[in-house]
Amino acid sequence: MAGDDEDPVALAVDCCRHPRPWLLGVDVDGTLAPIVARPEDARLAPMARDVLERLVDTPGVVVAVVSGRPLADLRHRFEIPSGALLIGSHGAEIGTEVDHPTPDEDLLMRSAATALEAIRSGLPGSWIEHKPLAVAFHVRQSDDREGERALGALKRTFERVPGVTMHRGHKVLELAVRPTSKRLAFGQLLSRLEPTTALFIGDDASDEAVFGSLRDGDVSIKVGPGPTAARHRVAGPTEVVALLDAMQRGVSTGAP
């Protein structure tokens, strides 16, 4: 739905016309932080943490960071300000430092990891990331064609496995053992807080489901290229920071 990249400051002016209170949801990787080859190397874009701190202190604005990352990463690797609501592991972790799998979930994760290891051993550049409630298969450093082929094969295999929820991201397929998603988690937050306007900013397939679930009058913003259900688009994390900064300044100076 969104067309070309928009100017962040002009888009912020448009956002500030929407009535408050706001629930502002924002993804991390590809949105607040540039995409990097290895997840452990990711960091927030310059000034991102500063603008988040100012936003969480702004009356009429609730900030929710909604990510596939575990909560421990959001709190410690990215140092998300304590005033922000944190939704980690695609909604499987909310409000606790580290959630733990049940015995059945642990068995399912071990089985999934074994299957991923069999593919990893034959695909140079691929690797497995272990999360509290999921395992993820990354192919960012693999041959593009071979990587996509591997992800496609994994998707076909695990879509038939009971108890596994798949989340597709940038050259990664995550296999989660709890049936949740960013869409469900953000929707529950929306129902609980009942903001006048919800705004959501994200860049990948799991964020598209959130865009499609928003109400008339809410604001959806896609980060980066590609087809999208979002109504607006900005180029990348640098532009997201500029957008959030201009939104915070607009609200603080009495924009409607």
Confidence of residue 124 (pLDDT cuts 50, 70, 90): very high
The tokens describing 20, both together, are 């408050």
The count of residues in the chain is 256
Q: How much is the pLDDT for 51?
A: 98
Tell me: pLDDT of 97 over 60.
no
Q: What is the pLDDT of residue 217?
A: 95
pLDDT confidence bin for 251, thresholds 50/70/90 = very high
1: pLDDT strictly greater than 80: no
pLDDT of residue 98: 53
Does the pLDDT value for residue 255 go beyond 80? no
Q: Which H/E stretch holds residue 87?
A: strand 85-88
For the cut 80, the answer to whether the pLDDT of residue 96 exceeds it is: no
Backbone dihedral angles phi then psi of residue 85, each to the nearest 5 degrees: -75, 140
Q: Is residue 53 very low, low, confident or very high in pLDDT (cuts 50, 70, 90)?
A: very high
Give residue 256's pLDDT band: very low, low, confident or very high (50, 70, 90).
Answer: very low
SS3 per residue for 169-207: ECCEEEEECCCCCHHHHHHHHHHHHCCCEEEEEECCHHH
Domains located in the chain, CATH noted: 8-98+181-252 (3.40.50.1000), 103-176 (3.90.1070)
Question: ∠92-243-19 over CA atoms, to 5°?
Answer: 80
Structure confidence by residue, pLDDT tens digits, 9-40: 999 999 999 999 999 999 999 999 999 888 88
The pLDDT tens digits of the residues spanning 174-224 come to 999 988 889 999 999 999 999 999 999 999 989 999 999 999 999 999 999
DSSP labels, 7-53: PHHHHHHHHTTSPSSEEEEE-SBTTTB---SSGGG--PPTTHHHHHH
Chain segment 32-49, per-residue pLDDT in tens:
999 988 888 999 999 999
**pLDDT averaged over every residue in the chain:** 92
pTM: predicted TM-score of the whole model, two decimal places: 0.85
